[in-house]
């Protein structure tokens, strides 16, 4: 197999020049990035992600990272002999599972991400919903999406009551990159596991982000034939949910995306995180790798 030809200096310069309008357009703007899927578990993609985040910061944008950690939580539960269970894409979280969620997300996973970003020249700081009173939550009442009269008990899974972004904004102003674990706290100081897509969408709304990027394990939203849908409206998404095309973990992802789009986030993208430097391509070129959601 032949090695790829090196890019000539003239071509490199042309590529950089093509990124200039996007750098100008998004300079000083906030980008909220939900980091999950293969991008979190493949070492090469982890490196790409960290480099992308640092580059966006260095050219004057304000990336905020919200991470998931489903595979890591699942692996930790298995080591304890527990089997994960999901209802409508939400992890059922009893007290023991909540302990695991906290030490995996706010410990192992968050510190790995902070370390990766710092290693490539960034200044990342880890946060949970407790820090600076960032995310107040209460127990989620999960209604069955087919029969709203049925309510599912998913344990210590939370819905967001209020968000105070002052700690995130203070870090941004000091040239730091916030890395947020999706854990909220309740009125009695109890912890809640919150879907990371929902947290990313709410933060994007509160921060008046220019873009919300949701990295995932698939090309984007797919139709029944498995073909990519490059752009969707809220009405089209509702129809796809009703006919069963969209289900499982994509439900909270899309619910949050629609909410953010309707609340004024200029662009919401579900991005194929398996593509090297997909985030950079999404922000700095006109090449899309996923589905754009419109309110």
28 has binding-site annotation: no
The Cα 76–Cα 105 span in angstroms is 11
Are residues 34 and 197 in contact, defined by beta-carbon separation less than 8 angstroms? yes
24 has binding-site annotation: no
Q: Which residues contact 76 (CB under 8 A, 6 or more apart)?
A: 100, 103, 104
Strands 30-35 and 86-87, sheet pairing? unpaired
70 has binding-site annotation: yes
Q: Convert 187-203 to b/e letters by CB count within 10 Å (16 or more is b).
A: eeeebbbbbbbbbbbbb
CA dihedral for 31, 71, 249, 217, sign (positive or negative): positive
The Cα angle at residue 170 between residues 167 and 175, in degrees rounded to 5? 125
Task: Give the three-class secondary structure for 246.
Answer: coil
Are residues 133 and 164 in contact, defined by beta-carbon separation less than 8 angstroms? yes
Query: In what helix (H) or strand (E) does residue 40 lie, and over which residues does it extend?
Result: helix 38-41
Q: Which residues contact 30 (CB under 8 A, 6 or more apart)?
A: 61, 62, 63, 64, 172, 204, 207, 208, 209, 210
244 has binding-site annotation: no
| Known binding-site residue numbers for substrate | 69-70, 91, 193
| Known binding-site residue numbers | 69-70, 91, 193
């Amino acid at each position: 197999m032949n090695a790829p030809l090196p890019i000539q200096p003239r071509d490199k310069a042309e590529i950089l020049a093509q990124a200039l309008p996007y750098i100008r357009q998004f300079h000083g703007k906030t980008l909220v990035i939900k980091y999950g899927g293969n991008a979190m578990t493949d070492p090469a993609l982890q490196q790409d992600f960290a480099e992308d985040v640092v580059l966006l910061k260095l050219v004057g944008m304000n990336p905020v990272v919200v991470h998931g950690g489903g595979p890591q939580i699942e692996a930790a539960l298995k080591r304890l002999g527990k089997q994960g269970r999901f209802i409508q894409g939400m992890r059922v979280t009893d007290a023991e599972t909540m302990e695991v969620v906290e030490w995996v997300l706010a410990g192992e996973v968050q510190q790995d991400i902070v370390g990766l970003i710092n290693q490539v020249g960034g200044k990342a700081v880890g946060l949970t919903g407790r820090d600076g009173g960032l995310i107040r939550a209460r127990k989620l009442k999960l209604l069955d999406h087919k029969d709203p009269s049925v309510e599912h008990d998913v344990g210590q899974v939370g819905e967001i009551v209020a968000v105070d972004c002052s700690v995130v904004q203070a870090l941004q102003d000091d040239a730091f990159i916030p890395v947020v674990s999706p854990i909220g706290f309740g009125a009695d100081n109890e912890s809640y596991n919150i879907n990371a897509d929902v947290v990313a969408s709410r933060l994007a709304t509160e921060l008046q982000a220019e873009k919300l990027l949701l990295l995932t394990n698939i090309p984007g939203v797919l139709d029944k034939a498995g073909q990519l849908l490059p752009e969707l409206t809220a009405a089209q998404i509702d129809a796809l949910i009703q006919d069963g095309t969209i289900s499982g973990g994509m439900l909270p992802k899309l619910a949050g995306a629609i909410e953010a789009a309707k609340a004024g986030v200029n662009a919401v993208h579900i991005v194929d995180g398996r593509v090297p430097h997909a985030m950079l391509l999404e922000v700095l070129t006109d090449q899309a790798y996923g589905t754009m959601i419109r309110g």
